Structure 1
Amino acid sequence: MPTISVVMGVYNDAQRVQTSVASILQQTFTDFEFIIINDGSSDGTGPILDRLAAQDGRLRVIHQENMGLTKALIRGCAEARGEFIARQDADDFSLPDRLGQQLALIKGDRRIGLVSCATQYIGPQGEPLSIIKRAQTPDLATEQLLHHRQSPPAHGSVLFRRSVYDAVGGYRPEFYFAQDSDLWLRMAEQTQFANVPMVLYVHRREIGSTSGLNRAIQARFGELGQLCKTARLEGQSEIPHLQEAKQLRTQILASKTQKRPPDPRALASAAYFLGSQLVANGDRRAIGYLWQTVSLCPTHWKGWYRLAQSLIQFPLAKVHSLPY
């Protein structure tokens, strides 16, 4: 039986998935199985995964119809045979020592049931955005997770004990978004959360990602997870909040069947986030994202302000960034 089961859900990510998979297969710690749920991809992701699985016996690919990330992870974790489960997202990649470092930390203290690591956020083209860290001391990290919304830096950055996952009921299908933060809260009520201080995981922010285009409804799922936590602490029923989460999930699935084009305002908001972060970092590539912001949404006044600021800050980039 492998020590670690790495679980990934993927949907239509042929452009990125090979790099993500390779980052796990090239880990310095090798006693793992890698379970990938291909969630109904239609873009060539499936054949890529099948080819990779034929080359490495640790990789197991399961194909299913599209059911969303939460149900893909529920299935992946149910298939897991390891004492520990690690997550990996298809857009992201792990540095070579990630599994080994996290395993050493969690095995060194039985009180710890969930570990993460410092995470580098990057843009669509690999532009460095920010590094997100959490407290190293388990007592403080757990307190901040439970009461100050300081969750792991990225969903895919975690490794946890299978026994704790099972004890709290695992991922809950009602949560289409924020399924991770709901799970971490329930885990932190039973065990401690800890972090490796080094950057071992790289999380990519995409403009057109599903979560990026649904920030408002994603935030509501996060609030429902917090309301469930409060209900548990006060001895009340979580059912009303889970019912609302289930209704929101149904609405999302219904809208997906209608195949509506992305809201330009949501795309503009995502581009603005990237542009603003790059301006703060002194990166002239901000200009391209800010032009995209105001092109998608001409009334995005913050975008215009940031664009003007970036053109002043990076004068040599003006000629190359004008939209003609």
Structure 2
Amino acid sequence: MTASQPLPLVSVIVPAYNAAATLAATLRSALAQSHAEIEIIVVDDGSADETARVARAIAAQDPRVTVARQVNAGVAAARNRALAMARGEFVAPLDADDLWHPAKLARQLARIREMPEATMVYCWSADIDADGLISELRSDVARFEGDVMAPLLVANFIDTSSVPLIRREALIAAGGWEEGLHRRNAQGCEDWVLYVRLAAAGPVLLEPAFLVGYRQSATAMSRDTGRMRRSMALVHEEAARRIGRLPRWVQRFSLADFDRYLGDILAESGNPIRAAGYRLRAVLRDPAWLTSRVARRRLKGWLTRSPAYPPVGGGTLHFDAIDADLGRFPEPDRWTRRRWARLAAARLAAAPHRD
């Protein structure tokens, strides 16, 4: 952007359901952005707590905040309600319990404006606990750009819905968030379905910095393993509609990664036997994963029931104090380089029906 160009308006859309405990901190992190040309649209999705009161109190203090309320219809419907109200050139979803680094929007805007055909730009996130302390900071973060369809189908490396900055016109062309998952009791992967649509429509960019604090909750929707499996199956159906038949090896790697994810959820939920079953199935589907550095870390964590990555600052560092440009990452190991190279070379969005 040059000095003569007006700053683009970014529409921050915040779906909120029974989020009174975290919403104020979330909105403050959005209002504190160094890119101040924003509108924040909070959609209270039929909350039974003080969510609406918290949102309206903040809206009374800052005219950039608008609050809408609807009968509970699910997170996708709440986001689509906000999208219909949005006026910005870009849209930035923000969950009502996550936090943003002050430079999040400014850095992503600078990146996406380098490539007009890009549909969205993502960044990295740090896991935070209920107090906003960083509980895990992974060093095996994704570094994919351009045609990211193959790696995206293996795993939702964009991670949380609070990460991407999306061109509004691309988001509308993709149909917004898929509300049908809620009707089919398959919620959980609405974001993943959308990312598949956006990846099929154009390049995806990365701003390599930790700009989002992703709050972990034992009661989150993603803890329902049965619902998440149904939701993940719909991701593959969506991809098949966009690019044709999926390569078998992509499906296999994807199922293995998802089994590891579900195994972690079950272990955290106090069900180690079922967790072991999912983890064993993941190994059988993708045995080469065992040779990776991340596998060694995770296996050690499984056996010791400890995090694969120690908490930053011994678990006492608040997300507000994070250095977004942590430059302490080791080079990817041999397995990771090979796997990333194979995924990057697949170019599924450009060459459908590849097998």
Shared fold per TM-score greater than 0.5: yes
Question: Could you tell me which residue of structure 2 aligns to residue 306 of structure 1?
Answer: none
> Residue in 1 aligned with 2:145?
138
Q: Which residue of 2 aligns with 1:190?
A: 201
**Structure 1: runs of 5 or more not aligned:** 237-263, 286-324
Structure 2 counterpart of 1:281, one-letter code: P
Q: How many residues align?
A: 255
Distance 1:223 1:18 in 2: 35
- 1:162 corresponds to 2:173: no
TM-score, normalized by length of structure 1? 0.71
Q: Which residue of 1 aligns with 2:215?
A: 204
Task: Map 1:35-184; keep pairs closer than 5 Å.
Answer: 35-125=41-131, 126-131=133-138, 134-136=141-143, 138-139=145-146, 141-145=148-152, 147-175=153-181, 176-184=187-195
**2:11 partner SS:** strand
Q: Are the equivalent residues in 1 in contact too, given 2:148–2:199 (CA < 8 A)? A: no
For residues 195-219 of structure 1, what are the alpha-carbon distances to aligned partners after superposition, in whole Å with 9 as ceiling and x for unaligned? 111100010111122332x122113
Give, in whole Å, the separation in 2 of the partners of 1:103 and 1:46. 30
C-alpha distance in 2, partners of 1:144/1:265?
26
Match status 1:19 vs 2:48 = no
* Residue aligning to 1:223: 233
SS in 2 for 1:74: helix
Q: Which has the higher helix share?
A: 1
Task: Report if the CA contact (8 A) 1:38-1:46 is conserved.
Answer: yes
* In structure 2, distance between residues paired with 1:36 and 1:170: 16
Q: Report if aligned partners of 1:151, 1:184 keep a CA contact under 8 Å in 2.
A: no
The 3 A distance-change label for structure 1 pair 228 and 27 is: same
| CA positional deviation for 1:140 | 5.9
Task: Show CA shifts across 1:20-70 (max 9, x none).
Answer: 000000110001100010111111111111110000000000011111111
CA deviations 1:232-282 (Å, max 9, x no partner) are: 32389xxxxxxxxxxxxxxxxxxxxxxxxxxx9984359x99994537527
SS in 2 for 1:216: helix
Alpha-carbon distance in structure 1 between the residues aligned to 2:83 and 2:212: 20
Paired residue type of 1:129 = E
Alpha carbons 1:119, 1:133 under 8 Å: kept: no
Which position in structure 1 is the counterpart of 2:307?
Answer: 278
User: In structure 2, the residue corresponding to 1:278 is in which secondary structure?
Assistant: coil
Q: Does the Cα contact within 8 Å between 2:125 and 2:212 map onto a contact in 1?
A: yes
Which letter does structure 1 place at the counterpart of 2:270? A
Quick one: structure 1 residues 6 and 133, their matched pair in 2 at CA, closer, same or farther if it must change by over 3 Å? farther
**What CA distance in whole angstroms lies between the structure 1 residues aligned with 2:65 and 2:49?**
20
Question: How far is the alpha carbon of 1:128 from its aligned partner?
Answer: 1.6
**What TM-score comes out, normalization by structure 2 length?**
0.65
Confirm or deny: 8 A CA contact 1:135 1:194 kept in the other structure. no
The 3-state SS of whatever aligns with 1:200 is strand
Q: Which amino acid aligns with 2:136?
A: L
Deviation at 1:2, TM superposition (A): 6.0
Whether the aligned pair in 1 keeps the contact of 2:197 and 2:242 (CA below 8 Å) is no
Q: Distance in 1 between matches of 2:143 and 2:311?
A: 29
Letter in 2 for 1:89: D
More off after superposition, 20-29 vs 224-233: 224-233
Q: Which runs of 5+ in 2 are unaligned?
A: 1-6, 182-186, 247-265, 276-300, 316-355
Aligned CA distance change for structure 1 residues 234 and 111 (closer, same or farther; 3 Å): same
Moved over 6 A (4+): 272-275, 282-285
